[in-house]
Amino acid sequence: MLTYIHKIFTTISNFFIDKSNKVTDTSSMLDKLFGNKTLAMIFLNLFHYGEVYSGLIEKNTGKGSRAVLNQLSKMEEAGIFVSREVGRTRLYQFNRKSSFIKPLKEIINITYSNMSIKMKEEMFKERMRPRAKGKEVIK
């Protein structure tokens, strides 16, 4: 599995990062790496919010519930995500015990940090808690 992670980092450096260390195509980088746009959007939502429920991902991505739930289930079976129930809602987060989370978050962070504030505001419409008066919308 370590060779797979190394292959991902090599792919990023060869195809998506130019010599000035700027990501050249942030919108489709994760899609191409993971081969699935729904999964890429789930990773970005989970990275942004820290903990999400499937309905929030559906609202932010426009994807159907079946597609989102299938990907969440696959990642939970693989040990990448863990979930817990709060009332009738199942919340998902990255599995901190997995050795793959740190390199995976580094890959996601490359895309996330190169997104414009406007793009983040459009992608992550739902707020998890109220914003203080005068505080930035997106970190």
When pLDDT is averaged across residues 114-139 and rounded to a whole number, the result is 71
Give the pLDDT confidence of 16-33 residue by residue, as tens digits.
Answer: 444 444 444 455 677 777
Contacts of 74 (CB under 8 A, 6+ apart): none
Fold of 2-114: Arc Repressor Mutant, subunit A (1.10.10)
3-state secondary structure of 115: coil
Report the pLDDT value the prediction gives residue 24, as an integer from 0 to 100: 44
What's the number of CA atoms in the CB half-sphere (13 Å) around residue 15?
13
Q: Which two tokens stand for residue 135?
A: 């505080």
d(CA 41, CA 1): 23
Q: What does DSSP assign to residue 132?
A: P
CB 93 within 8 A of CB 46: yes
Beta bridge partners of 17: 23
> Does 106 score more than 70 pLDDT?
yes
Each domain of the chain, given as residue ranges in start order, spans 2-114
